[in-house]
Chain A
Amino acid sequence: MSKEKIYFEPEDLANFGKVTEWQEPMGKKFFDYYGEVMKEGALTAREKALIALAVSHALQCPYCIDAYTSTCLKTGSDEEQMMEAVHVASAMKAGITLVYSTQMMKHTKKMTM
């Protein structure tokens, strides 16, 4: 029996830093920027972790979902808050789909008697 092909393995996340091995200056710039963005600033680290969690779901990155679930728990968010953040992302996606129907409605009215 052949081994089932798995694309996403949780332990690969620990190797994220190694991307610098093949493009060091670019990789370093990314991680410096990333670290700067995610640290406490005008928004708290907790608020940023909830935003990141929501974005992870919207863009469907399993690594990010794992990482930011842990970060949200560590920075003091609970299940209700985390799920609510995901609903924000979900509502945004739904809204972003639906808002384009204003164009459909406009074009329909132009085309129809």
Chain B
Amino acid sequence: MLTTKSLSARGAALSNTFFQLDVLNGKELADINFPPFALKAAEAGFAPLKPSRIEIFQINIGKLCNQVCAHCHVDAGPDKKVENMSRETLEICLDILSRYDIPTVDITGGAPEMNPHFRWFVEECRKLGKTVMDRCNLTIIMANKKYHDLPDWFAAHQVQIVSSLPYFSKTRTDAQRGDGVFEDSIEALRRLNAVGYGKEGTGLLLDLVYNPTGAFLPGDQAGLEREFKTQLKRRFDIEFNRLFAITNMPISRFLEYLLESGNYESYMAELVNAFNPSAVANVMCRNTISVSWDGFMYDCDFNQMLNLPVAMPQATHISQFDYERLSQRNIVVNQHCYGCTAGAGSSCGGEVA
């Protein structure tokens, strides 16, 4: 049954990230151990795992969200009013972006648009010539009339939109993302199409994210993209550019789902057994820096949600940003990393292998 509150709002044990890590390492709840991910990565030639080039500055601008999705690794929700990035912290981000050649700013959340400084920050990033991606949950466009103009505003600033749509039908979508989400998502997609997003030749990119709506890995990304394009066009006359198939990570609310449904052991076994050595080279932590709402740096959004900062003691805040040191750091890994290296691999941009 879909929860309507975040883990922390419910006082759930899994809201504690140490507890989550203990579960993943076989010390709590699930009495099963899998080979350490670091060992598998070493066998694949990555001992330790190091960055390539920092190409993406991913900012989790806040955990405040108008949805409470069942698979959310952020534990985002309407109760997260404190965890929202300040203007001061965003100014530090802009300073870093102005000084270094990091081409892409990837803004995620929560619902990024609910941060009061969101639009200002996007405008400033665009002035710096950065490619700006917004991970828009679609329903925010319909949630309140103050967001109704987002499609026009996005288009005016050429923001790349990346939005989750787990299925082209109500049953699967609402099961993961909440009652009424499918209907609002379709209407939001229509409004984005109406201003040119997802249409041939406009340059306005609209990509969709497919997360499996249960304890299974995504199928072939190209096949899923073909099916989504056919069905969304046929049923709703909706178009989009690319589909990213992203594996659900065994952390936060998805971990809760796995444990409560009795699927934890089989899901983790599937991730471990599907370990793909050639996916390791392209994991997103190698070209991404993830920044939390309070300005701390992580190798990826998943490490961020497990409170595993970059391995740079006394220099984990963006006010201490050191491009050279970050380029040479050892990436922090743990058992959840199997999620990014299973099968065709997974990242915020879909398959990696």
- Verify if B214 is at the interface (C-beta below 8 Å from A): yes
* Residue among B212, B218, B219, B223 with max Cβ neighbours from chain A (10 Å): B219
- Verify if B224 is at the interface (C-beta below 8 Å from A): yes
Partner of B223, one of A70, A73, A75, A79: A75
Size category of the binding interface on chain B: 10 to 19
Q: Flag if B169 contacts A78 (CB, 8 Å).
A: yes
- Verify if A84 is at the interface (C-beta below 8 Å from B): no
0 or 1 for each of A38-60: is its CB under 8 Å from B? (1 = yes) = 00100011100000000000000
0 or 1 for each of B196-222: is its CB under 8 Å from A? (1 = yes) = 000000000000001011101111100
**Smallest CB gap from A69: residue in B:** B216
Q: Given the interface contacts A78-B169, A80-B169, does A40 sit within 8 Å of B223 by beta carbon?
A: yes
Q: How long is the Cα–Cα vector from A28 to B233 in the complex, in angstroms?
A: 42
- Verify if B227 is at the interface (C-beta below 8 Å from A): yes
The total of chain A residues at the interface (CB under 8 A) is 13
CB distance from A77 to the nearest CB of B (A): 9
5 A-B pairs with C-beta separation under 8 A: A44-B227, A75-B220, A78-B171, A78-B172, A80-B171
**Smallest CB gap from B169: residue in A:** A78
- Verify if B254 is at the interface (C-beta below 8 Å from A): no
**Smallest CB gap from A75: residue in B:** B219
- Verify if A76 is at the interface (C-beta below 8 Å from B): yes
Q: Flag if A70 contacts B216 (CB, 8 Å).
A: yes
Q: How long is the Cα–Cα vector from A46 to B218 in the complex, in angstroms?
A: 12
Q: Flag if B216 contacts A79 (CB, 8 Å).
A: no
Q: Flag if B171 contacts A74 (CB, 8 Å).
A: no
Q: Flag if B171 contacts A44 (CB, 8 Å).
A: no
The prevalent SS among residues of A at the interface is helix
Residues of B within 8 A of A45 (CB): 219-220, 223
Q: Flag if A73 contacts B214 (CB, 8 Å).
A: yes
Residues of A within 8 A of B227 (CB): 44, 46, 76
- Verify if B167 is at the interface (C-beta below 8 Å from A): yes
Q: Given contacts A40-B223, A74-B216, could you give 19 more A-B pairs where the C-beta distance is less than 8 Å? A: A44-B223, A45-B220, A45-B223, A46-B219, A46-B223, A46-B227, A70-B216, A73-B212, A73-B214, A73-B216, A74-B219, A75-B220, A75-B223, A76-B210, A76-B223, A78-B172, A79-B171, A80-B169, A80-B171
- Verify if B226 is at the interface (C-beta below 8 Å from A): yes
Q: How long is the Cα–Cα vector from A80 to B213 in the complex, in angstroms?
A: 15
Chain B 212-246 residues near chain A, CB threshold 8 A? 212-214, 216-220, 223-224, 226-228
**Smallest CB gap from A70: residue in B:** B216
Q: How long is the Cα–Cα vector from A90 to B21 in the complex, in angstroms?
A: 47
**Smallest CB gap from B214: residue in A:** A73
Residues of A within 8 A of B169 (CB): 78, 80
Chain A 77-101 residues near chain B, CB threshold 8 A? 78-80
Q: How long is the Cα–Cα vector from A76 to B168 in the complex, in angstroms?
A: 9
CB distance from B84 to the nearest CB of A (A): 35
**Smallest CB gap from B227: residue in A:** A76
